[in-house]
Homo-oligomer: A and B are copies of this chain.
Amino acid sequence: MLQGYQSWVFENKPVIIGSSAVGGPFEAQGNYAADFDILHDDLWLGEDSFEKAEKKMLEQACEKAIKKAGLKKEDIQFFLSGDLINQIIASSFTARTLGIPYLGIYGACSSAMEGLALAAMIVDSGFARYALAGTSSHNAASEKQYRYPTEYGAQKPPTAQWTVTGAGAVVLGREGDGPRVTSATIGRVVDMGISDPFNMGAAMAPAAVDTIEAHMRDFNVDLMQYDLVITGDLGKIGRSITKDLLKKHGIDIPEDRYIDCGATMYKESQPLIPLIAGASGCACVATVVYGHFLNRMRKGELKRILVIATGALLSPMSYQQKETIPCIAHAVSIEI
């Protein structure tokens, strides 16, 4: 039910009965490699386009999550998914493969938490027995679409972020064992006038702060009730701006209680990483949370987490038409 102005409480606490993370070669060298279910050493996955490779990863993530939930795809009523490719074709073509009734969503890199929040609502209120939520991104597909084909060798400024090649998925059910989705806060669009698509972290940080504040206001809680606050893909610069903005708004969070998936995805010893701001892409928060953090919850290392996935809602065309970057963030709390 509605809580405050823009938040939801899931009274039946839908259970994440299956989750999965699929990654590419660069992710296989990163900090969270051990928590991926499938890692590919070929960026093409044997396909003849990066877009088809992305679709294949999303299919694998969905199939893996369903299998880990002990279900068959026929048991799932609804599939919610979105991605970064124009017209979210990775999601729609995966929906064709799965044959599950499908709701396409789009929130750029916030899509993972948008899908999780909606899937939780659908299950919580009895509109599905089981729902599947997924998302994906592919570095080369994104570079080609949003910036330059990788083959051009265009240089990146230090504020740039590296799109994660991967896919993540979760299966939610009304009953079972596992981490439970307890609440969500749906974000408003925040646009502070930044127009540089190579500085997404700075553009998205105010949206993260707006949603965190809304969450605290709607639930009348502080962040210390969470073992960990996790943002999606702000990167090193965006994370630092977020911390500063939170502090300015009187919200202090200890250094070790706040992790950004984009800032920690890769190792500083990996090529390029010390020179840029970190990772991004729909698959960034999805693989790290649905892989690493859910695993840690299952092991008992974490009891309550708040995940805030941010999205930069620009298109190359809106940027070319001199528009600034509208950003959004959706927060979901998970408990065990």
Contacts and interface: CB of A to CB of B under 8 A. Distances in A.
Contacts of A34: none
Please tell me how many copies of the chain the complex holds: 2
Contact of A106 (B93, B105, B124, B129): B105
Contacts of A129: 2
Contact of A187 (B101, B127, B188): B101
A100 interface: yes
Interface in A62-116: 77-78, 82, 84-89, 92-93, 95-96, 99-108, 114
Q: Quick one: which of A8, A106, A114 has the most chain B CB within 10 A?
A: A106
Nearest to A129: B2
A99 B314 contact: no
Contact of A317 (B51, B105, B106): B51
A106 B103 CA distance: 8
A326 interface: yes
Given A5-B77, A95-B326, A321 B51 contact: yes
Contacts of A5: 77, 101
Q: Which of A2, A48, A99, A107 has the most CB of B within 10 A?
A: A2
A104 B313 contact: yes
A55 to B, nearest CB: 9
A96 B51 contact: no
Nearest to A315: B87
A193 B106 CA distance: 26
A121 interface: yes
A216 interface: no
Contacts of A105: 103-106
Contacts of A314: 87, 89
A3 to B, nearest CB: 9
Interface in A26-71: 48-49, 51-52
A100 B8 contact: no
Contact of A1 (B102, B126, B187): B126
Contact of A189 (B77, B92, B106, B126): B92
Contacts of A78: 6, 186
B189 A102 contact: yes
Given A89-B318, A125-B125, 9 more contacts: A1-B125, A2-B127, A6-B77, A49-B321, A82-B106, A87-B106, A87-B108, A89-B313, A101-B188
Interface of A: 1-2, 5-6, 8, 48-49, 51-52, 77-78, 82, 84-89, 92-93, 95-96, 99-108, 114, 118, 121-122, 124-129, 186-189, 191, 313-318, 321, 323, 326, 328
19 contacts: A6-B101, A51-B317, A51-B318, A85-B315, A85-B317, A86-B317, A87-B108, A89-B314, A89-B323, A92-B328, A93-B313, A95-B326, A101-B186, A101-B188, A102-B188, A103-B118, A104-B105, A105-B106, A121-B125
